[in-house]
Chains A and B, each alone.
Chain A
Amino acid sequence: MSKTVLIVDDSESIRDLVEMTLENAGYTVIKSFDGEDATYKLNTSRPVDLIITDLNMPNLDGIDFIKNVRANEKYSTVPILLLTTESQAIKKEKAKEVGATGWIVKPFVREKLIAIVKKVIR
């Protein structure tokens, strides 16, 4: 069965781009537009093998979303990648502290995205 990736980003274009890139690489993609919606989807949809999330989002931002995910027993160990333009080290540190696995910096090349995803979920 193909692995499932959840992409959380408030920008539709980025969501679509990630979706198409990963689907072409053989993954199943679930899309979500903010932390609140993503938390809901995690609880209701099929099990997710990887979460890719933006940091700056309305309602529930990336950091709080990651906290939520980690608090959920089912997802306490699922890899989480940040997808962000945030170059500030503080934010990244903060994200790692609450449980992020790594990050992808926007703008990214599609091949690179696939390579990172492959590395994280074998």
Chain B
Amino acid sequence: MDKFQKTFLQEAEELMDDLEQALLRLEDDFEDKQCISEIFRAMHSLKGGGSMFGFDTISSITHHLETIYDQIRNNELKANRNILDVTFEAVDHLKHSLMDQQLSEDYNRKKHQEVMLKIEALRSEVDNGQEELDSSESTLTMATYYVLVSPKESIFANGTNPLYLIDDLSALGKCLVLPSLTSLPVLKEVEPDKCYTQFEVLISTELPKEEIKDVFIFAEDQCDLQVEMICGGDLLDFEPLISALESKRLDEDILGYDAVKNIVQLHLNESSKSIKKSKKDIAKTESSIRVSSDKLDELMNLVSELVTTQAQISLIAEQKGIEELTELGENMEKITRRLRDNAFSICLVPIQVLVTRFQRLVRDLSNDLGKEVQFITSGTETELDKSIIENISDPILHIIRNSIDHGIETSEERVKKGKSPVGKLELSAFYSGTYVYVQLRDDGQGINPESVKKKAIQNGLIISGDQLTEKEALELVFMPGFSTAEEITDVSGRGVGMDVVKRKIEALKGDVTIASKINEGTSITIKLPLTLSIIDGMLVEIAETKYIIPLDFVDKCYEIYTSKLDGEDSQKYVFEGSMLPVLNTRACFGFQAFSGDITQVIKLTYEEFPVCITVDHIIGQYQAAMKPLGEHYESQDEFSGATILGDGSVALVLDVMRFVRQHLMVKELKLEH
């Protein structure tokens, strides 16, 4: 394929992603001008490139859609759900047919015709509807007016109640009424048949100025009236402006038309500034270069080779006692460390790149199931290694599917339960230590631990006598062959369940937990390591073999007399006044007891409480380039990988979480039986 065509294909994919994102935003707010012009631009670029590089499918479809969005952009047409649905379908089709431009697959060809017909239908509909729109346009433009009503003191005398006038006003459109009471005398001096109040009203309406004046037609000589148009559009939709006006009122008499206009101007400027700014921010993140992921993988590989070589140099320098070389080695270590951190950050991708896909799923699914779901995201700028990003999408999609299918109820059910009719699904991501947490929380019906247990007993996963805490019961959903849905819908399906989600996440050295409250919702938390390929570790020796303990887990080091150890897998020992579990690694790995007098103990941070492990010697800090262990060792749970040391020997990298969990559990089991 032509090199330009290839570039264009990549570009097209990105443009379609942008397009999809903008469409999703437009769905929330049909009037979003910025969105509409983004959509138009993306289509325009697709069309231009498509025709330039011979992708006729793309150019023919975008050509017609572009016309429609151009009309929307020029206010000749209003965006609506139907247009969006067709556009989504068209974008899907374009994505599918990107690799099949000749439409050689039957399905694609049929789909193409179908989409073209739908767009055609949309266009003729638009053309018909347009005339109606044109003829009624003059009456349909929304504008915001300033009205000052100053009733004369004697207004009550002819039976007019100014409050009724205000009521009539608010029948015309949205109103913000600001009464002025400054001329009201103290109670003693009030004459009940006199009117002391003035009103300032902001009204947004589609009706012309004359209609507003007409409200006062019978009270004309009883009150002074000023009606001025502030500007087109509905200002009362604009929250900050309203609060600004209201707060301004508290310390002033009548504001007057000019003052109101000034405040409005100020706010409009500010908001357009902030829009411009956010636009800039987006543009900034976009101005990046494209690098193929193979090149990045290669870079990471080379960096890890360099780390290994640098370790060799340092080792030789130390062994031969060459001072200059030691110094060079240390310098090189500093540089490789920076290079490593830099190369890492290149490989990091924000979770945001996945969000469009999730939004799309939420949209399509909730439409299919007739549920209303609001999808909220936060912390999507959180970055993860691209290899993790690539693999985390499916599990999250599955969790979202579950939430919408089984968790969030239909609107009627929700209203019955006293909840808001629109369900909420929140995706939040954040850093904590060297982990990234991705949390999916819905406010659906939650999971009943009792029914989970019942199901687990039915499926033979536990026996009826088993005592489980609520948490343990919920965790059963991650067991293979478990499915809580009473009816199996084609959405979450059977087969693939939460056990696959768990397995996939664990394959990434991550962890997944679940929490749920009946009728309040479920939250699933995924914990992922920041990166996989090079780690800072502590090099230790156990039974003449070297191991790496990831430094992030190391809290403190202690020394104890070996004689204090009882030779069991695990025991308790008091360090600095607190009793801590100590895992004897030699016993855990099945080696003979250590013969040295003093054993080193490393205190590790492990979930809720610290745990100690014993090692023979601590050698020092070490940058470990992680290598996979290979197929033979996949079934073990104690090591996450291996690294090559400076002298060419291999050190195993301890998977602290699993090692501790496994050996503490062994101990607990032993105690129980």
Contact = CB atoms under 8 A, between A and B. Distances in A.
Contact of B52 (A20, A34, A37, A106): A106
Given A33-B287, A59-B283, A13 B49 contact: yes
Contacts of A106: 48, 51-52
Contacts of A10: 41, 45
A9 to B, nearest CB: 9
At the interface, is chain B mostly helix, strand, loop or mixed? helix
B48 A14 contact: yes
B53 A13 contact: yes
B238 interface: no
Nearest to B287: A33
8 contacts: A11-B8, A13-B4, A37-B287, A56-B44, A56-B45, A85-B44, A85-B51, A108-B52
Among A13, A57, A84, A107: residue with most chain B CB under 10 A: A13
Interface string B290-305: 1000000000000000
A13 B283 contact: no
A85 B47 contact: yes
A54 B49 CA distance: 12
A116 interface: no
Interface in B233-279: 279
A106 B48 CA distance: 6
Interface string B1-25: 0011101100100000000000000
Interface residues of B, number: 22
Given A33-B287, A85-B48, A12 B41 contact: no
Given A17-B4, A85-B48, A85-B51, A11 B41 contact: no
* Across the A-B interface, the 8 shortest Cβ-Cβ residue pairs: A13-B8, A13-B7, A107-B51, A85-B48, A107-B52, A106-B48, A56-B44, A17-B4
Scoring B3, B48, B283, B286 by chain A CB atoms within 10 A of each residue's CB, the highest score goes to B48
A10 B290 CA distance: 14
Interface in A27-52: 33-34, 37
Nearest to B54: A107
B283 A58 contact: yes
B41 A13 contact: no
Contacts of A13: 4-5, 7-8, 11, 49, 52-53
Interface of B: 3-5, 7-8, 11, 40-41, 44-45, 47-49, 51-53, 279-280, 283, 286-287, 290
Given A10-B45, A11-B48, A58-B41, A16 B4 contact: yes
A84 B41 CA distance: 12
A85 B48 CA distance: 6
B52 A17 contact: yes
Given A56-B44, A56-B45, A59-B283, A12 B52 contact: no
A12 to B, nearest CB: 6
Contacts of A59: 279-280, 283
Nearest to B41: A56
A108 B41 CA distance: 20
A107 B44 CA distance: 13
Among B3, B4, B47, max chain A CB count under 10 A is at B4
Contacts of A34: 283
A12 B283 contact: no
B44 to A, nearest CB: 5
B281 to A, nearest CB: 12
Contact of A12 (B11, B44, B51): B11
Nearest to B43: A56
Contacts of A107: 48, 51-52
| Residue of A16, A54, A84, A107 ringed by the most chain B CB atoms within 10 A | A107
Nearest to A36: B283
Contacts of B286: 58
A33 B44 CA distance: 15
B7 A16 contact: yes
Interface string A1-32: 00000000011111011001000000000000
A11 B51 contact: no
Among A20, A54, A56, A108, max chain B CB count under 10 A is at: A56
A14 B49 contact: yes
B11 A11 contact: yes
